[in-house]
């Protein structure tokens, strides 16, 4: 039962984080074309006011619950080495931990990312993680 609760919590928190990235990349960034600079800045800041209250916390919940799910699902490494499932799960976990570390450093410690400043790369990584999630049970 606890596994199911943690898995549902993980999915819900990932939906919050991914939904923010989806909204930011596909809607808010496109509003620049229709709004003046002042209006766009005002709309974006209003949106971010609420995002800053929820998204960083949901990202931490996603990472912590993901670590638990990784621990429960990874299994034992056989004599032949890692299974395809374990390899895909490792890639997915690495990307998730990297996103989580980036988010924690940026939001809670005010360390700006060195590699990228926009939300495009995190959005792409979330999409990759979603595809890996679907792929790992089929390999």
Query: Per residue in 95-135, pLDDT tens?
Result: 999 988 888 888 788 787 666 667 888 889 999 999 999 98
CA distance 107 to 93: 21
Query: What is the domain extent for residue 15?
Result: 2-135
Q: Is 0.85 topped by the overall pTM?
A: no
Per residue in 23-46, pLDDT tens? 888 888 888 888 888 888 888 888
Residue closest to 86 by CA, chosen among 72, 71, 75, 95: 75
What is the domain count for the chain? Answer: 1
């Amino acid at each position: 039962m606890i596994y199911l609760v943690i898995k549902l919590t993980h999915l819900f928190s990932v939906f919050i984080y991914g939904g923010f990235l989806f909204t930011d990349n596909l809607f808010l960034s496109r509003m620049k074309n229709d709004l003046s600079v002042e209006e766009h800045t005002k709309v974006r800041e209003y949106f971010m006011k609420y995002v800053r209250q929820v998204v960083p916390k949901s990202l931490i919940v996603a990472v912590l619950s993901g670590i638990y799910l990784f621990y429960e699902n990874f299994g034992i490494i056989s004599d032949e080495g890692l299974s395809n499932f374990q390899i895909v799960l490792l890639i997915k976990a690495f990307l998730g931990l990297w996103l989580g570390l980036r988010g924690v450093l940026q939001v809670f410690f005010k360390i700006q990312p060195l590699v990228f400043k926009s939300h495009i790369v995190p959005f792409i990584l979330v999409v990759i993680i979603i595809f890996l999630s679907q792929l790992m049970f089929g390999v």
